[in-house]
Amino acid sequence: MASTGQLTPPSSPKHALRREVGMIGLLWASVGAIIGSGWLFGAEKAVTAAGPAALVSWGIGAVAIILLALVHAELGGLFPVAGGTARYPHYAFGGFAGMSFGWFSWLQAATIAPIEVQAMIGYARHWSWADGFQHKDSTLTASGFVVAMLLLALFVAVNFLGVKWLANTNSAATWWKVAIPLLTILVFAVKEFHGSNFTSQGFAPYGARGVLSAISTSGVIFALLGFEQAIQWAGESMNPRRDIPRAVLGSVLIGSLVYILLQVVFIGALPAESFAGGWSHLTYTGISGPFAGLATVIGLGWLASLLYIDAIISPGGTGLIYITSSSRITYGLSRNGYAPELMQATDRRAVPWIGLIVAFVAGVLCFLPFPSWQKLVSFITSAVVLMYAGAPLAFGVLRKRMPGTERPYRLPAGSVVSPVAFAIASLVIYWAGWDTLWRLGASILLGYLLLGSYAAYAQSKRLPGAPRMDFRAGQWLPVYLVGMGVISWQGQFGVGATKNLPLWWDIGVVVVFALVTYYWALAVSLPVEEIERNIRGVEVMDAGGH
């Protein structure tokens, strides 16, 4: 049975958010999340992994993110709800899959603010007063841990001022965050550019493995993440059905262009002696702050000073936004019945304050097992892309079950783009490597323990809003998670992988496995009546917004 009508929202929920964010606020929320610490470190980490072929890594990463963004653009316009990425799988597959992807969403949002704090502290080592905050291997010292906690606390405190003030502040900061990378691109291109750097040691000295591993482990995908912030803020958008698709697609195009140009000028500006020992041994004075150090080396001291200032503003703005998103995802998990209703509590400024406290505690814990920027990158990339992977699946189900429902943005060739996007997301997860994925698996088990225990308790007590697990509709998910782990273990990437699957064969296995999972998920998804019941269980705004 296919639905053909427009969904009608229920009455406003008990704990409501305020719709105070316009188009520019949504766009800059996503752009501000994309342009954070990734631009400060991504070009250097990628070139040491892949050589000049890092440009190919950025190209593949941009295509992957654009495909995922296209899927999210349709869903974001169709369902403008707070914490949307945590909810789409819930609509299509019910409680078990919804709980799982909700946890993936929360996990990535809660861990990105700490990585931005790490970036701020790493660049601050340029000043002598901050040199004692990190060891030589970039892990935090005791004093650095205290500073990191204080910075997270500052992000939380700013969030308490309310989403309208936050959106306006972020929009102003994002103009700066976009302007400084663009200035860097222009100045580097004019002042120092050696075209021979791209071929003097071979364009791809580490082959396909270097190109592919850079996508997940060197900050390429991580740098491009963040377009979903407009979706997470959908519950506070003034005109979500019109503005969310525009903000999502616009932010991805801006971010991809900026990052590719940054990689070009970074490679071109390097002195030949800095990579004389090979790209994997790239070195020059001040490389701990790659762009600022390089600016100093080529005689641009004024730009270096500006970049050290930006190294506080850019990551700080991104960390601020992800604290916001983490609290909204906590709110969304509670709305779906996976966490106590208390998590929906808002203060007089309509801020979900308990979610902010939870985000702070989780962020502090992240400094313990992952105490440096690069150690967090692969883990976060995998968690984010796993979260993103739920959208193509939900997209396919909703196109199949509800083809006639009004869509403010309708993705052309969606039936082709959606499975391709899921397959590419699976590849990015695989390229992160076995040493990252087993840790991600442990974190997933922790989420099942926490959220699953509450869901079971809520069902046993017959609490209002207790979720139905719908295990039949989500039967494919544990097979997919375990299967990806086994392929990673047998594959070519990461410490501890057996490398029994040859390169290229492993990629074929991942793609086939992903496509089988995709069509299996569509086949067992909820019937249209159950999907509509799930949708009507949350706040869905009409086409005009309120």
User: What pLDDT digit, counting tens, does each position of 136-148 carry?
Assistant: 777 788 898 899 9
Helix (H, G, I), strand (E, B) or coil at 392: helix
Burial of 534 from C-beta contacts in 10 A (0-12 / 13-18 / 19+): buried
Amino acid letter, residue 455: A
The token pair at 330 is 């906590």
Neighbours of 306 (CB within 10 A): 17
Q: Residue range 485-496: average pLDDT?
A: 92
> What whole-number distance in Å separates Cα of residue 90 and Cα of residue 100?
9
List the alpha helices (DSSP H) in 199-300: 207-217, 220-224, 229-232, 240-269, 290-297
Question: In a 10 Å sphere around its CB, with 0-12 CB exposed, 13-18 middle and 19+ buried, how is residue 86 labelled?
Answer: buried
What domains can you pick out in the chain, each with its CATH number? 23-536 (1.20.1740.10)
| DSSP helix/strand/coil, 219 | coil
Q: Using DSSP, state whether 265 is helix, strand or coil.
A: helix
Q: How confident is the model at residue 7 (pLDDT cuts 50, 70, 90)?
A: very low
Average pLDDT over residues 329-354: 80
Tell me the sheet residues that pair with 134. Answer: 140
pLDDT value at residue 58: 94
Residue 158: per-residue pLDDT: 84
pLDDT at position 494? 85
* Angle subtended at Cα 447 by Cα 507 and Cα 327, rounded to the nearest 5 degrees: 105
The mean pLDDT of the chain is: 84
The average pLDDT across 496-525 equals 96
Residues whose CB falls within 8 Å of the CB of residue 407, separated by 6 or more in sequence, listed in order:
74, 77, 78
Burial label, 478 (beta-carbon count in 10 A; 0-12, 13-18, 19+) = middle
Cβ burial of 4 (10 Å; 0-12, 13-18, 19+) is exposed
Q: What stretch of H or E contains 113?
A: helix 95-124
* Biggest CA pair distance of the chain: 69
Give, in degrees to the nearest 5, the angle at Cα 307 between 301 and 311: 145
Q: Which two tokens stand for residue 489?
A: 């273990």
**Distance between CA 108 and CA 97 in Å, rounded?**
17
Interval 154-166 mean pLDDT: 79
pLDDT band at 418 (very low <50, low <70, confident <90, very high): very high
63: number of Cβ within 10 Å: 14
Which range, 34-43, 265-274, 451-460, 489-498, has the best average confidence (pLDDT)? 265-274
**Cα separation, 161 vs 165, whole angstroms:** 6
Q: How many helices (H) and strands (E) does the chain have?
A: 20, 0
Strand partners, 21: 237
Separation of alpha carbons 354 and 344, rounded Å: 8
Phi/psi at 527 (nearest 5 deg)?
Answer: -70, 165
DSSP state string for 163-178: HHHHHHHHHHHHHHHH
Integer-rounded Cα Rg, in Å, for the chain is: 22
Q: 194 — phi, psi (to 5°)? A: -115, 100
Give the per-residue pLDDT at 20. 57
Band of pLDDT at residue 174, cut at 50, 70 and 90 = confident
H-assigned helices in 131-162? 142-159
Q: What is the pLDDT of residue 236?
A: 66
CA dihedral for 507, 441, 397, 522, sign (positive or negative): positive
Q: What is the pLDDT of residue 382?
A: 82
189 vs 388: which has the higher pLDDT: 189
pTM of the model: 0.80
326 sits in the region (left: phi over 0; alpha: psi -120 to 50; else beta) called: alpha
Report the Cα 328 to chain-centroid distance in Å.
Answer: 15
pLDDT at 167: 67
The per-residue pLDDT for 16 is 52
pLDDT at 322 over 90: no
Predicted confidence band of residue 11 (pLDDT cuts 50, 70, 90): very low
Higher-confidence position of 134 and 500: 500
* Average of per-residue pLDDT across 48-69: 93
User: Cα-Cα-Cα-Cα dihedral of 188, 226, 32, 220, to 10°?
Assistant: -10
List, for residues 210-242, the tens digit of each pLDDT value: 999 899 888 888 888 878 777 766 666 677 767
pLDDT at residue 83 greater than cutoff 70: no
Residue 225 contacts residue 381 (beta carbons within 8 Å): yes
Q: Which residue has the tokens 């992957």?
A: 64
Calpha distance 376→432 (Å, rounded): 12
365 Cβ neighbours under 8 A, 6+ residues apart? none
Residue with tokens 């940054």: 262
Lowest model confidence (mean pLDDT) among 112-126, 163-177, 438-452, 460-474: 163-177
* Cα gap 542→384, rounded to integer Å: 29
Lowest mean pLDDT among 59-73, 307-321, 437-451: 307-321
Rounded CA separation 297/325 (Å): 38
Give the H or E element holding residue 96: helix 95-124
How far CA 48 is from CA of 44, 211, 290, 357, 383, in Å, comes to 6, 10, 12, 38, 24
Q: pLDDT of 251-291, one tens digit each?
A: 888 998 999 999 999 999 999 999 999 999 999 998 888 99
pLDDT given at position 21: 67
Which residue is listed with tokens 């008990």? Answer: 14
- Residue pair 238/18 in contact (Cβ under 8 Å)? The answer is no
Average pLDDT rounded to a whole number, residues 49-68: 93
Using CA atoms of 196, 200, 204, 207 in order, give the dihedral in degrees to the nearest 10: 180
Bridge partners, 140 (sequence order): 134
Size of the chain, expressed as the number of residues it contains:
546
